[in-house]
Amino acid sequence: MSAATRSALVCGIDEAGLGPLLGPLSIGFTALRIPDPHANPWRLLANVVAKNPGRNRKKLVVADSKRVFTRNAVGRKRLERTVLAFLAQLDARGKPPTDPMRLLFGALHPAAALVRRHPWYERLPELPLEQEAVSIELVAALLARNMERRGITLVDAGVRVVPAGELNASYDETANKALSVWEKTLEVLAHLWHAHGGSRPRVVLDRQGARSHYGSLLAKGLPDASVKLVSEDEGRSEYRLNERGGSRRMELVIVEKAEDKSFPVALASCLAKYARELVMGAFNGFFAELQPDLRPTAGYRTDGERWLRDARPALKRAGLPRQVLVRER
């Protein structure tokens, strides 16, 4: 059997920003070709990639973004190096992206008119933010050599950024936060299905709240696929999707703490977090121009409420509707 026959496409989906009061929900996705279905990218790329932050800061850290990112210079740089070095693998020249719009609004994106309602998106800074581009290019080149040597290829990666105004509009339609988040996640899953279903990928998705039954939701959201239940156990649900009258196939596993079990999910988690932090940086910059003494916020509930109190002068000057600022759920 040839290496090409043994290789497998593995994909991951994860989100960042599910609970905050302010800012977007961000859903990351990745698709990697690995040399065989049981290959462990963490082990294969151990020369350049680590699963846990440690003293060796030269390695990229691919893990749950809560471990990769800390709200200080070291954590911000660590997350950025990981995300941009991997995204460089999608560029023909091996260059990391410098245009934030390329990262935030790639294959999946909100409607342009909806984005314009959130004016801070127009003020996104050029990448990278935390370090010199040449340092990321060097580690990206090292990563590329290791990936090639180990038979790993990054086929696809990106984010679906869901601005607060879009989330609120969805909440108005569904009256259910979990269902709204599922519908946005399904957009990402549908992208992987239509773009890569011909390669019969295995897709791993972090469990959506307490939900354990997804069959009917998958059948409704992907009408061109027949959905076969494999198992629905506590903490894990598995399905097989087959295209009606076509050749697409997909194995979908929805499992608790997926970012600890799946390299593609961990990398997707990092992408999602980096995208959300990028947006929140622009958000804080926009309002700081209106009120220079305003302390920035990460948007999480307690500090978000503090920010709303402190930001009253800036909010009055901005004249923006509450719906594009504050999440209703």
pLDDT of residue 3: 45
Is 260's pLDDT higher than 60? Answer: yes
pLDDT of residue 234: 83
Is 4's pLDDT higher than 70? Answer: no
Q: Which CA distances in Å does 206 have to 27, 138, 185, 225?
A: 11, 32, 10, 21
Model-wide pTM > 0.85: yes
**How far apart (Å, rounded) are the C-alpha atoms in residues 179 and 307?**
28
Domains of the chain and CATH, by start: 3-324 (3.30.420.10)
**Average pLDDT for 57-78:** 94
**How far apart (Å, rounded) are the C-alpha atoms in residues 118 and 9?**
36
Measuring CA to CA, which residue among 265, 115, 137, 135 is closest to residue 192?
265
**Average pLDDT for 88-93:** 96
Distance from chain centroid for Cα 297: 21
Structure tokens at 50: 């680590």
Q: With contact defined as beta carbons under 8 Å apart, do 180 and 167 qualify?
A: yes
Cis peptide bond prior to 321, omega within 30° of 0: no
